[in-house]
A and B are shown apart, each in its own frame.
Chain A
Amino acid sequence: MNGAQDLGGQHGMGPVAPEKDEPYFHAEWEKRALGLTLSCGAFGAWTIDESRHARESLSPATYLSASYYEIWTRALETLLKRHGFISAAELAAGQMLEKGREPKRILTADMVPAVLAKGGPCDRPAPEAPAFAVGEQVRTKNFNPETHTRLPRYARARTGIVEAVQGSFVFPDDNAHGKGENPQWVYTVVFDAGEIWGEGADPSLTVSIDAWESYLERA
């Protein structure tokens, strides 16, 4: 979706302002927000792709003014309501009002080391051999789905070179919407900055994306 999350090449966002000796957390509630997001993710009720879609579906004004843990928290509310674990009335009251859905799994403290060490690998066998080879010239598609995609706007309808075939992975554009994992090959595709940004582009710059096969056409 062409939401506020698709930031590559936008202007006016200000300086980066790195913080010297930045702490991992700036407030206690950020720690709880991180832990809640991971704990609820462990229910197994939604995928990382659906989580990302919930975050980018925030209104642009909210998304751009929120800290990242606030974005996570708001998206978590959406996911918990959508999947029947919590109601809007309960969120407003800050109290349990009814019994909700039971998750497949509840993350307890003793499970944490193993769960974090395992992660959530999302490489899967693809049904066909890769359609593109290293060194091949490809063009990204031009599309503007209202649904989740990982092809940023700045890299649509651009010609680049396949630099690596990275393996086959869950296809987020489908998986975010409960349409299955439908694995596809993923390629690192590199573009000259001039192809992306045109006039005035930095001639010393190249930019790569990791693109699912269906984002690409032979050029």
Chain B
Amino acid sequence: MTSEDPMHHRDDDHHHDNHFSDTQARVKALETVLTQKGLIDPAAIDAIVETYETKIGPRNGARVVARAWSEPDFADWLRSDATAAIASLGYTGRQGEHMRAVFNTPETHNLVVCTLCSCYPWAVLGLPPVWYKAPPYRSRAVIDPRGVLEEFGVKLPETKKIRVWDSTAELRYIVIPERPAGTEGLDQESLGDLVTRDSMIGTGLAIAAGGTR
């Protein structure tokens, strides 16, 4: 259950225009009524939250990328059937049912967005960050990706092509960033440490060898 007690503050909240506390009260009312009706199991909510806080997150995707960097056969499998290749590592299910992997190259940088809602590859990246679901990113990624990338500290050479993938259907995209130079001797676990969440959305690059997050 929640650690706060929104009911306690409810009367006060209704006296001012406060989206945050108003929504908090709405959520509390919903959970209370649905629990009284026996329609939900509050412990199921705890289990869902725990899953996405501790089990399903961008480390899943980083393992996919590290394997693709290390094993050309796996990279080819990702290109031809990303859903099956990713499932072979145990990452399946909700918002990862139909996966596509898109590979950055020296010529082209890939960027993923959902202009219409918040489609995101949960099975490999977990829950999306707030900015991914918010109007600035969703509006600008398709018209001004270079400007968006600069806000993430990424400046691409003007000669580099940019491909934006708008997730308008049920395919979910993971970007396979370019492998940093000087990482030939690293094992897959060390390689995975260079793979950030943003590099798999396309708003970042993999960390340079010896660099920090």
Contacts and interface: CB of A to CB of B under 8 A. Distances in A.
A96 B39 CA distance: 11
Given A8-B142, A68-B133, A150 B39 contact: no
A94 B36 CA distance: 10
B105 to A, nearest CB: 14
Interface residues of B, number: 88
A203 B49 CA distance: 43
A24 B168 contact: no
Contact of A28 (B4, B138, B145, B158): B4
A143 interface: no
B46 interface: yes
B28 A6 contact: no
B79 to A, nearest CB: 11
Interface in A148-181: 150-152, 154-155, 166-167, 169-170
Contacts of A182: none
A77 B26 contact: yes
A31 B127 CA distance: 11
B47 A112 contact: yes
Given A169-B169, A206-B163, A39 B41 contact: yes
Nearest to B133: A68
Contacts of A67: 19, 23, 130
Nearest to B157: A204
Contact of B162 (A34, A96, A167, A202): A202
Contact of A91 (B7, B33, B135): B33
Contact of B138 (A8, A40, A69, A106): A8
A9 B92 contact: no
A35 B46 contact: yes
A119 B92 contact: yes
Interface stretch (B65-73, B94-102, B176-184, B185-193): B94-102
A91 B51 contact: no
B38 A208 contact: no
A94 B7 contact: yes
Given A9-B142, A202-B162, A208-B164, A73 B30 contact: yes
Interface string B2-21: 11101100000000000110
Nearest to A38: B48
A35 B65 CA distance: 29
A52 interface: yes
Contacts of B171: 166, 186, 188, 210
B30 A204 contact: no
A42 to B, nearest CB: 8
A204 B161 contact: yes
Contact of B170 (A35, A36, A169): A169
A203 to B, nearest CB: 9
Nearest to A18: B131
Contact of A154 (B49, B95, B142, B165): B142
Nearest to A170: B170
A65 B19 contact: yes
A209 B23 CA distance: 33
Nearest to B92: A117
Interface string A37-70: 0111001000000001001100000001111111
8 contacts: A7-B135, A14-B136, A29-B2, A35-B44, A35-B48, A77-B26, A190-B163, A204-B160
The list of the 6 closest CB pairs from A to B, nearest first, reads A35-B45, A210-B169, A8-B115, A96-B36, A94-B29, A109-B43
